[in-house]
Structure 1
Amino acid sequence: MERTAVNPWAWSLDFGYNQAEIVEGTRRQLICAGQTSVDADGRPQHPGDMRAQVGRALDNLEAVLAGADMTLANVVRLSIYTTDVDELLRCVDVFGERLGPAGVRPPSTLLGVARLAFPELMVELEATAAD
């Protein structure tokens, strides 16, 4: 798979994402359901702690990717839903710590929402991956 960043402006690079990517030579695509801060039984974890919830949601996303023999390096699109945009922006470094070593800046969208599936949840990650 070959990825070519498309960035008519550079400001998004400071936030860890490309405006777009041309993805060529893929053979499989994985569409992931939204991943949140829940345990293996689906119970919400880390109520009130955005940083911990982002970390756990990324852990869960990585587990789904691993189930398809993929990693964060395969993520070509990331949508982030949060009940508190300002608090999530204070934790954006967590994404950089995880996506940076994977060598990716997937095109992303950040949306503020009124509520997620469980009231304790503050963030949900929805990804598309390819290889």
Structure 2
Amino acid sequence: MKKHIVNPWKWQDQLGYAQGVEVRNNQGTLYCAGQAAMTADGQPSEGNMAQQIELSLQNVEKVVKQAGYHLSNIVRLNIYTTSIDEFFPAYGTLAGWMAQHNILPSSTLVEVSALAYPQLKIEFEATVVD
């Protein structure tokens, strides 16, 4: 698989994402459902934004690894949050996770009025290639 990052500007570099990610010659693609801060027994987290980001990312990891893919091959990571104002102060949790796993995805951040459960604040939707 060949991955090519497309960044016509530099401003997004400090935020840890790419404007575009081109993938050629890949073997497979994994489209992950939105992963929120849900416990292993299917209960929504009551935690703050940073705690919910951490649990949501752990859930992304479980899906990606169980499917046999590598986290570094996440090429798209869409973010749905009920509060952008709460999200950005906790952004370091996400940025650290992406840096740790060498992830530089294309990404979209959207504020939504609600997620599946009223307690949920964040949900990640990942696309992974092999």
TM-score class normalised by the smaller sequence: over 0.9
Q: Could you say which residue in structure 2 is the equivalent of 1:29? A: 29
Question: TM-score normalized by structure 2?
Answer: 0.96
Contact 2:29–2:127 (8 Å) recurs in 1: yes
CA distance in 2, matches of 1:71, 1:54: 19
Structure 2 SS opposite 1:91: helix
Q: Could you say which residue in structure 1 is the equivalent of 2:93? A: 94
Percent sequence identity over aligned pairs = 40
Question: TM-score normalized by structure 1?
Answer: 0.95
Which amino acid counterpart does residue 12 of structure 1 have in structure 2? Q
Q: Could you say which residue in structure 2 is the equivalent of 1:57? A: 56
Per-residue CA distance 1:45-98 (angstroms, 9 max, x = gap): 1x2500000000000000000111123212110100000001111111111211
5+ residue gaps, structure 1: none
Which amino acid counterpart does residue 127 of structure 2 have in structure 1? T
CA distance in 1, matches of 2:6, 2:99: 18
Q: Could you say which residue in structure 1 is the equivalent of 2:127? A: 128
| RMSD after superposition | 1.0
Q: Could you say which residue in structure 2 is the equivalent of 1:4? A: 4
Divergent runs of 4+, >6 A: none
CA distance in 2, matches of 1:50, 1:39: 15
CA distance in 1, matches of 2:101, 2:25: 19
Structure 2 SS opposite 1:87: helix
CA distance in 1, matches of 2:34, 2:97: 18
